[in-house]
């Protein structure tokens, strides 16, 4: 008996050896696969004459970008085009984050309304939007809503705002400090601030879609605050607004902020569907560049790096916010 | 109006003046929008674009003379559904010894099914023989459901053994029927389209990404640094990139990564990319489930003498997967929705088919009809998956635990 206990276990039960063997086998497997893929890549690329090079970025792009904040034309180099695309992406992501947060907060708190109809409508909105693919919603907004708007005289006109097939026109300062509204010149609307229907459709689609997910996050966050907190705040003599601001929201935010982070990142990634409604974001410019130059690897590297950077930036900000709202423990 | 209805209406909608005002505004707004939509759908919309292209939407450019294979497949699926449905109700369960063979939900489902099969083929304007085929399929499903519900308890051994094998077998048979081989004429992947392609891509990715996701989740929680860091790197790389860039990568770079001629064609490339993409998200769902299982469970299993694979597969994973079920099904739903992205890389899935139909000058300006139909179709599929997941969740809750 004693002899059996003292005998060392067979090698496949050795607690020190086995982990190393497993890791060695897995590592070897990964290395072989990577070497195989990279070897093929180098061989195929050199056969096609497309070995890694960044010089094409400096050549003239010879395509136009329909709308961009950065002035851009076809004679400028590819890198300026990609930069203009990135700026366009950041623009729609930035406005989309604000819009989706506002809409999501509104709908999420509407599910706690005392009005039964408001509650049910909030529920219906979330259930309808979450079960329809975003891409389908985007093409719907673009082709069915924005491109069906009336044009010219028949456009939807409010003081300082005109919504027509050629876009959304807002009043603003023009040429120095001269306040002016949108105006009809030769049957074409012009105004100081113009959003194209492509941008409008993408922004609306992203806001409505992400708003539904954020509404769920907000609803979960508020529901996570125990009911006793409300009652305790009321019995301390706080009014509904004050107890909401001082007691409920700080506790709900602890649950909401991490969820928001996920939704913000998914909004940023979803903005790459812009190509479906004709908006020139980073992905759409990159796709055009690839079609013209054939530089697949470089374009993919740029795309992945750019989206990773946007994700990381959002995560950094949200983690900072998370630290602010978490419980301060002694 | 009965008093109960009046008092609940009052409490729900008109508790105070502001609530009342909001309710009136919302009712008129929703009413006007609903009326507008119905008025448009019944009088202005031209549904002929759906009727004329229903085959295209269903199967794409699948050769007409081979379409009997798809009918056969639909019949097999209907039969398998009826059998499994009936067996699930008819077999006595551990926690539910006596079951009603036709509970209320089942009766509702059967009525909905019959109504749908009466209405949809007629509304699509299909020819009589084809309408009759759909009726026959529905009848087959319901009859088998009835038979299986009635006799499952007598054929208990066959049913418990056969059911888990039925669906994987059917999947393989289905792939052969769709793609050909084994004596059938080959129908290349580039001839699949519409709903058929969407379902193939989604089911392929769901089936393969599930085990891959579990392996990645286990890897991420492993104590071996190489496995852990490898899994983390993979998961975070995939989750950091938009799906469309990965699909783009698959279409443009996969050809360079594999030796010439070995790269799969575009449809399978997209299917593999969807699989790898979905696996990373599934891994996160499963990881949350694993994290919710107390550490003592693994330690207890090991101290009973189970080795690591046994302890994981018998003790830890069943609990973790049950906890991860809602998130997993949520991921499957979003995978089904993500298949629409295939239209952006030029494949003719459901949305791609819709876009190609709209490019036909004959159907210019009919996008509202087409997109609304697709939206309803996707909504029904996703909502059904969600309902199924909730039912399964209730079913899997351990009977001994809980209050």
Residue A152 has pLDDT above 80, yes or no: no
Pull the structure tokens for residue B365: 């300006």
Confirm if B279 and B212 have CB atoms less than 8 A apart: yes
Query: Nearest CB to A133: which of B244, B255, B340?
Result: B340
Closest C-alpha to A285, from A38, A274, A238: A274
Asked if residue A60 is part of any domain, the answer here is no
The domain of A148 spans 78-325
Q: Is residue A234 a contact partner of residue A243, using CB atoms and an 8 Å limit? A: yes
Residue A196 in domain: yes
**pLDDT at residue B139, as a whole number:** 92
Of A22, A287, A303, the CB nearest to B224: A22
pLDDT digits (tens, 9 = 90+) for A51-91: 777 778 778 777 778 777 777 777 788 888 889 899 999 99
**Position A73 in a domain:** no
| A34 contacts chain B (CB < 8 A) | no
Q: Answer whether A139 sits within 8 Å of B371, measured CB to CB.
A: yes
Cα A127 from Cα A140, distance rounded (Å): 18
B160 touches chain A (CB under 8 A): no
B365: left (phi over 0), alpha (psi -120 to 50) or beta: left
Structure tokens belonging to residue B346: 């030029």
Domains present along chain B, CATH in parentheses: 1-25 (no CATH), 58-187 (no CATH), 188-403 (1.10.3720.10)
- The verdict on B333 touching A (C-beta cutoff 8 Å) is yes
- Our measurement of the distance from residue A322's CA atom to the centroid of its chain's CA atoms, rounded to an integer in Å, reads 19
pLDDT per residue over B119-163, tens digit each?
Answer: 888 888 888 888 888 999 999 999 988 888 777 777 777 777 777
* pLDDT digits 0-9 by tens, A243-300: 888 888 888 888 898 889 999 999 999 999 998 888 888 999 998 888 888 888 888 9
Q: Are B23 and A115 a contacting pair, CB within 8 Å?
A: yes
- Taking CB atoms and an 8 Å cutoff, what residues of chain A touch B386? 131
- Shortest alpha-carbon distance between residue B180 and chain A (Å): 31
pLDDT confidence of residue B401: 46
Number of inter-chain CB pairs under 8 A, A vs B: 140
A307–B337: do the CB atoms touch at under 8 Å? Answer: no
More confident residue, B225 or B5: B225
* Angle at CA of residue A133, ends A130 and A137, nearest 5°: 95
pTM score, whole prediction: 0.88
Q: Do the Cβ atoms of B240 and A45 come within 8 Å?
A: no
What is residue A77's three-state secondary structure?
strand
Contacting residues of B for A136, CB less than 8 Å apart: 340, 351, 371, 374-375, 378
CA gap A278, B178 in Å, rounded: 35
Q: How confident is the model at residue A94 (pLDDT cuts 50, 70, 90)?
A: very high
Look over chain B and give the mean of its residue pLDDT values, rounded to a whole number.
Answer: 85
Q: Does B15 touch chain A (CB under 8 A)?
A: yes
**Is position A163 within any domain?**
yes
- Give the β-pairing of A183-185 and A188-190: antiparallel
pLDDT reading at A2 higher than 60: no
Residue B98, SS3 per DSSP? coil
Q: pLDDT per residue over B221-240, tens digit each?
A: 888 888 899 899 999 999 88
Q: What is the pLDDT of residues A174-201, one digit of tens each?
A: 666 777 777 777 777 777 777 888 999 9
Is A245 part of the contact surface with chain B (CB cutoff 8 Å)? no
Instruction: Give the whole-angstrom CA distance, residue A216 versus residue B290.
Output: 24
Label residue A170 by pLDDT band (50, 70, 90).
confident
Please give the average per-residue pLDDT across A303-320, as a whole number. 92
A161 strand-pairing partners:
A158, A170
Given a cut of 50, whether residue B403 has pLDDT beyond it is no
CB contact under 8 A, A115 and B22: yes
Instruction: Please tell me the distance from the alpha carbon of residue B353 to that of residue B374, in angstroms, as a whole number.
Output: 11
Q: Which of A28-32, A202-206, A246-250 has the lowest mean pLDDT?
A: A246-250
Per the CB < 8 A criterion, the answer to whether A290 and B228 are in contact is: no
Q: What are B288-343's pLDDT values in tens digits?
A: 888 888 888 888 998 998 888 888 888 889 888 888 888 899 999 999 999 999 99
User: Tell me, what's the pLDDT at A168?
Assistant: 82
Mean pLDDT calculated for residue range B269-274: 92
**Mean pLDDT, residues A113-123:** 86
> What average pLDDT does chain A have?
85
State the pLDDT confidence band at A122, using cuts at 50, 70 and 90: very high
Our count of domains for chain A comes to: 1
Pick from B255, B250, B219: nearest CA to B234: B219
Given an 8 Å threshold on Cβ–Cβ distance, is A132 in contact with B337?
A: yes
Q: Is residue A108 part of a domain?
A: yes
Residue of A nearest to B27 (CA): A117
Residue with tokens 């989309």: A96
Chain B residue with CA closest to A295: the answer is B252
Residue A30 lies in a domain: no
CB atoms within 10 A of CB A92: 21
On whether residue A64 sits in a domain, the answer given is no
Contacts of A134 in chain B (CB under 8 A): 337
Buried b (16+ CB within 10 A) or exposed e, B320-346: bbbbbbbbbbbbbbbbbbbbbbbbbbe
List, for residues B35-55, the tens digit of each pLDDT value: 999 998 888 878 888 888 888
Q: Chain B partners of A132 at a C-beta cutoff of 8 Å?
A: 337, 375, 378-379, 382
Chain A residues lying within 8 Å of B227, measured CB to CB: 22-23, 26
Report how far residue A306's alpha carbon sits from residue A300's, in angstroms, rounded to the nearest whole number: 10
Q: Is residue A247 part of a domain?
A: yes
Contact A133 B27 (CB under 8 A): no
Beta bridge partners of A173: A179
Whether the CB of B27 is below 8 Å from some CB of chain A: the reply is yes
Given an 8 Å threshold on Cβ–Cβ distance, is B340 in contact with A140? no
C-alpha to C-alpha distance for A155 and A164, rounded to whole angstroms: 5
Which of chain A's residues have a Cβ under 8 Å away from the Cβ of B333?
131
Q: What token pair was written down for B196?
A: 């058929």
Share of chain B above pLDDT 90, in %: 27
Report d(CA B200, CA B222) in Å as an integer: 33
Interface test with A, best of B244, B309, B333 (most A CBs within 10 A): B244
| Nearest residue to B163 via CA among B174, B154, B177, B152 | B152
> Which of B12, B15, B253 lies nearest to residue A297, judging by beta carbons?
B253
| CATH number of the domain that residue A152 is part of | 1.10.3720.10
pLDDT score at A45: 81
């Amino acid at each position: 008996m004693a002899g059996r206990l003292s005998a060392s276990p067979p090698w496949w039960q050795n607690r020190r050896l086995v982990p190393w063997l497993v890791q060695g086998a897995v590592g070897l497997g990964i290395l072989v696969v990577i070497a195989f893929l990279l070897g093929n890549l180098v061989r195929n690329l050199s056969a096609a004459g497309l070995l890694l090079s960044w010089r094409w970025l400096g050549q003239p792009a010879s395509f136009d970008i329909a709308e961009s904040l950065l002035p851009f034309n076809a004679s400028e180099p590819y890198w300026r085009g990609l930069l203009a695309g990135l700026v366009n992406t950041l623009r729609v992501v930035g406005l989309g984050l604000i819009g989706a947060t506002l809409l999501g907060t509104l709908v999420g708190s509407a599910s706690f309304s005392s009005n039964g109809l408001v509650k049910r409508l909030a529920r219906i909105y979330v259930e309808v939007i979450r079960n329809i693919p975003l891409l389908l919603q985007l093409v719907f907004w673009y082709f069915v809503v924005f491109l069906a708007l009336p044009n010219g005289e028949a456009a939807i006109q409010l003081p300082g705002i005109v919504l027509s097939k050629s876009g959304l026109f807002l009043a603003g300062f023009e040429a120095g400090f001269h306040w002016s509204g949108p105006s009809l010149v030769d049957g074409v609307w012009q105004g100081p601030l113009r959003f194209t229907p492509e941008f409008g459709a993408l922004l609306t689609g992203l806001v409505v879609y992400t708003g539904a997910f954020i509404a769920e996050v907000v609803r979960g966050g508020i529901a996570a605050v125990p009911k006793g907190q409300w009652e305790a705040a009321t019995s301390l003599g706080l009014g509904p607004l004050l107890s909401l601001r001082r007691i409920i929201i700080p506790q709900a935010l602890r649950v909401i902020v991490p969820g928001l982070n996920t939704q913000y990142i998914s909004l940023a990634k979803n903005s790459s569907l812009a190509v479906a409604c004709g908006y020139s974001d980073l992905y759409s410019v990159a796709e055009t560049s690839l079609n013209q130059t054939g530089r697949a690897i470089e374009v993919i590297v740029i795309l992945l790096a750019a989206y990773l950077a946007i994700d990381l930036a959002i995560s950094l900000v949200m983690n900072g916010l998370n630290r602010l709202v978490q419980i301060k423990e002694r | 109006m009965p008093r109960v209805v009046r008092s609940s209406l009052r409490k729900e909608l008109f508790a105070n003046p502001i609530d009342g005002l909001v309710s009136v505004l919302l009712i008129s707004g929703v009413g006007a929008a609903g009326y507008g939509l119905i008025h448009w759908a019944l009088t202005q919309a031209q549904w002929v674009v759906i009727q004329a292209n229903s085959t295209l939407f269903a199967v794409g450019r699948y050769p007409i003379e081979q379409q009997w294979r798809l009918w056969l497949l639909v019949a097999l699926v209907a039969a398998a559904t009826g059998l499994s449905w009936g067996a699930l109700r008819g077999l006595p369960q551990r926690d539910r010894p006596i079951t009603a063979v036709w509970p209320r939900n089942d009766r509702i489902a059967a009525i909905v099914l019959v109504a749908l099969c009466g209405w949809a083929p007629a509304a699509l304007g299909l020819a009589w023989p084809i309408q009759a085929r759909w009726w026959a399929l529905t009848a087959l499903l319901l009859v088998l459901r009835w038979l299986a519900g009635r006799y499952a308890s007598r054929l208990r051994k066959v049913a418990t053994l056969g059911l888990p094998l039925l669906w994987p077998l059917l999947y393989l048979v289905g792939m052969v029927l769709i793609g050909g081989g084994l004596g059938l004429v080959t129908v290349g992947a580039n001839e699949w389209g519409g709903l058929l392609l969407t379902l193939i891509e989604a089911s392929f990715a769901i089936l393969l990404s599930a085990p891959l996701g579990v392996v990645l989740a286990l890897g991420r929680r492993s104590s071996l640094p190489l496995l852990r860091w490898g899994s983390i790197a993979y998961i975070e790389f995939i989750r950091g990139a938009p799906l469309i860039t990965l699909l783009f990568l698959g279409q443009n770079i996969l050809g360079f990564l594999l030796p010439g001629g070995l790269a799969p064609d575009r449809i399978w490339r997209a299917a593999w990319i969807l699989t790898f993409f979905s696996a990373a998200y599934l891994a996160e769902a499963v990881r949350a489930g694993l994290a919710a299982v107390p550490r003592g469970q693994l330690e207890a299993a090991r101290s009973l003498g189970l080795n690591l694979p046994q302890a994981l597969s018998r003790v830890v994973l069943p609990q973790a997967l049950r906890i991860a079920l809602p998130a997993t099904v949520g991921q499957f739903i979003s995978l089904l929705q993500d298949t629409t992205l295939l239209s952006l890389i030029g494949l003719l899935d459901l949305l791609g088919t819709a876009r190609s139909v709209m490019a036909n000058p004959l159907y210019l300006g009919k996008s509202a009809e087409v997109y609304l139909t697709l939206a309803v179709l996707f909504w029904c599929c996703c909502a059904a998956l969600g309902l199924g997941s909730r039912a399964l969740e209730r079913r899997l809750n351990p009977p001994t635990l809980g209050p």
